[in-house]
Amino acid sequence: MDAFGLPMSFGKKSKAPTVNLKAKLDTTKRDVAAPPPTTTKTDSGFALQDDQAPASGPSRPSSSTDKNRLSPSGKQDQNGNGVNDDDDDVGPKPPSPSTGDKRKLSTDENGAAAADENVDDDDDEEEYDDEEEVDRTPISHEIVLKDHTKVVSALAVDPSGARLATGSHDYDTKIWDFGGMDRRLKPFKSFEANGNYYVHDLSYSANGQSLLVISGTVQPKVFNKEGDEGVEYNKGDVYLRDMKNTNGHTAEITGGSFHPTDNSQFLTCSNDSTLRLWDVENKRKQKQVIVVKSKERGARTKVTACAWSPDGKMIAGACLDGALHIWNTSSNFARPNYSNETAHAKNTETTGVVFARDGRRVATRGGDDTVKLWDIRSIRKPIAVASGLDNLYPETNIIFSSDEKSILTGIAAPKGQKGGLVFLNGEDLKEERRVAIGEGSVVRVVWHSRINQIFASLSTGAVHVLYSPHSSIHGALLPLSKMPKTAPRDPSFSTSDLNPVIYTPDALPMFRDQGHRESLHQKEKKAKKFKPMEPMRGAGRGGRLGASETQGFVQTLFPETLKFEDPREALLKYAEKKDEEE
């Protein structure tokens, strides 16, 4: 029985309203449950929907409101009750007075309230079809971060996508926190990791708590995520010829990165013909030394780039003699497991090497203006080659896209022209698109899959963050909410187009009157003329440098004109007065 003394019954459920998925920023497909019909719970544990009438039992007290109650479609049945038309898409009804809940509820077998998950599948499929047509590649919009004065040669984003670390040829390392950044778009930390040395590489640990800084020295450094408490690791003995016996590098370090899953070790490569594995806790000695033996005279070569495989089971190193070597981390590193001595042109710096997630494909960025794709199972010959990609900086890297269907790298540009970001097909290296970015050469590229944003550093000292309003979230988008909201803002704007607004008093309407402006100047002069003297509180205060309190007091008693009066004339004035008195 309900509150009116009527027996309970059940009628036909009204169709749940559809949900518009286009209004969501994140357009990832997901199941959305529509709000079920509102019900009123009775004493017997059952629920009665507001738009249902009892099927049997004494009739409910009638009223003009009940008799004329219509469905949203305006139709009635033979009893005068509203009928829901399934062809009409209606919104949720007002909440029940007894429950006060805006959601519609239904009951399960135990009589408990449960959400009704019935939605219109046909409408959802249409919404999904529309969303699939949207290009999710984050290249349509950009944000410009500018604080370096020279080429940004190192770039790293922490695993969560909340912070960005940049290194430059101006010797500075800067840390940008997107959550705490205001509309000025400036870093919160700037420091010189190794004095006046270029920063070649940066890498965050897997947990984002440590930052590896590789500069043009023989010693790597690890800082915490705030850029403090830097730990400097050991350098080797330059007088030892056997590189396995040295406890550190003996020549400039060219690159390095943290282990992809282990926070306690990182990898470095150097011009001393070695790659070294380090334990974060042991700064006196490295864990393992990989000596690269070249076929050149002297059996040494410079290792210009290195990388881990995504699972950390393999290490790749590219050398100045054009060779590409790959080692299994489970081996003794005596010789490479896979090797190609002529991967790139001899005596050119291979600036980048990267593994695909499958662990079989490897892409390299050569100093000979080429990009090559390799299969380590048949490493003697590349799968594909892309040429004509200008490369001027030894830090230019190469990356796979988040879905690994494309390979991205930056290209150099003549002075005064725009740099470019090239998308190459992940199978045959055919150029898919080329995106012009800023002015100058594109050096470093990072595509963070979690926030779906591309970070590109330029030779001008700027970092361009590319994003898509349909699929990018958080990251560099957080400071956009702190931009001025005095007028509607176009979401496709670039922060490089923002110019500082300078307000001058004469530009305001109230100050355009010449007479009003002159009166203000007169008042200003009077205020300066009758301004009282500031009290003396020690040397150097009140605009007097080196004046004591006594000197300040004397200056108040005698006018400043006495300083320029001839002392002889001053004495003669007193002599004339004396003669007159006599």
Q: Which of 118, 134, 150 is the last residue of a domain?
A: 134
- Amino acid (one-letter) located at 363: A
**Residue 312 corresponds to which tokens in the numbers above?**
């950390």
Pairing of strands 253-258, 265-270: antiparallel
From CA 199, how far away is CA 498, in angstroms rounded?
29
Whether residue 214 sits in one domain with residue 123: no
Query: Is 513 among the domain residues?
Result: no
**What token pair was written down for 50?**
């507001």
State residue 504's pLDDT score.
Answer: 56
Q: Are residues 162 and 292 in the same domain?
A: yes
Do 347 and 467 have their domain in common? Answer: yes
Determine phi and psi for 175, rounding to 5 degrees. Answer: -120, 130
Give percent helix, percent strand, percent coil of the chain, each to the nearest 5.
Answer: 15, 30, 55
Nearest to 139 by CA among 455, 428, 417: 455
pLDDT in tens, 150-172: 999 999 999 999 999 999 999 99
Residues 148 and 122 in one domain: no
Can you give the C-alpha Rg of the chain in angstroms? 38
- Final residue of a domain: which of 87, 113, 134? 134
Whether residue 504 lies inside any domain: the answer is no
How many residues can be counted in the chain?
582
Question: How many domains in the chain?
Answer: 3
State the distance between the two ends of the chain, measured CA to CA, in whole angstroms: 131
How many angstroms separate the Cα of 325 from the Cα of each of 201, 328, 379, 391? 20, 10, 10, 22
Q: Are 407 and 381 spatial neighbours (Cβ–Cβ below 8 Å)?
A: no
Q: Is residue 525 part of a domain?
A: no
Distance in angstroms (rounded) separating the CA atoms of residues 210 and 237: 27
Does residue 514 fall inside a structural domain? no
Q: Give the pair of three-digit tokens for residue 79.
A: 């009893």
Q: Which residues pair with 406 in a beta bridge?
A: 425
* Domain match, 233 and 168 both: yes
pTM for the whole thing? 0.63
Which residue bears the tokens 């450094």?
221
What's the pLDDT tens digit per position in 64-103? 334 333 344 444 444 444 444 444 443 444 433 333 333 3
Residues in contact with 171: Cβ distance below 8 Å, sequence separation at least 6, in sequence order: 192, 194, 195, 196, 197, 198, 199
Same domain, 118 and 160: no
Same-domain pairing of 116 and 162: no
- Cβ neighbours, 10 Å, residue 22: 10
Most distant CA atoms of the chain, gap in Å: 138
- The conformation of residue 331, written as its DSSP 8-state character, comes to S
Q: Which of 443, 353, 397 is nearest to 168 (CA)?
A: 443
User: Domain check: are 111 and 245 in the same one?
Assistant: no
Q: Give the model's pLDDT for residue 494.
A: 60
Determine the structural domain holding residue 147 and report its residue range.
Answer: 141-497
* Bridging pattern class, strands 221-224 and 314-319: unpaired
Residues in the chain predicted with pLDDT less than 70, given as ranges, are 1-134, 415-416, 484-565, 582
CA atoms within 13 Å, Cβ hemisphere of 6: 17
Residue 299 lies in a domain: yes
Alpha-carbon distances, residue 259 vs 186, 277, 282 (angstroms): 29, 10, 16
- Residues 162 and 129 occupy one common structural domain: no
Q: Looking at the structure, do residues 42 and 171 belong to the same domain, yes or no?
A: no
Q: How far apart are CA 502 and CA 177, in angstroms?
A: 28
CA distance 420 to 466: 13
DSSP string, 208-260: SSEEEEEESSS--EEEETTS-S-EEPPB--TT-S-GGG-SSBSS-EEEEEE-S
Q: Is residue 503 part of a domain?
A: no
Q: Which of 454, 474, 497 is the last residue of a domain?
A: 497
Let me know whether 301 and 261 are in one domain: yes
Closest CA to 165 of 193, 129, 133: 193
Residues 309, 212 share a domain: yes
Using DSSP's 3-state secondary structure scheme, residue 389 falls into coil
The C-alpha angle 435, 436, 438, rounded to 5 degrees, equals 140
The CATH number of the domain holding residue 239 is 2.130.10.10
**Listed residue (277, 269, 262, 268) closest to 333, CA to CA:** 277
Q: How far apart are CA 276 and CA 289, in angstroms?
A: 5
Q: Which residue has the tokens 């959802």?
A: 124
In a domain, 510, yes or no: no
Question: For the CA atoms of 266, 269, 274, 277, what is the dihedral angle to 10 degrees?
Answer: 0
CA distance to 105, 203, 210, 212, 402, per residue, from 257 (Å): 54, 5, 11, 7, 19
Residue 519 lies in a domain: no
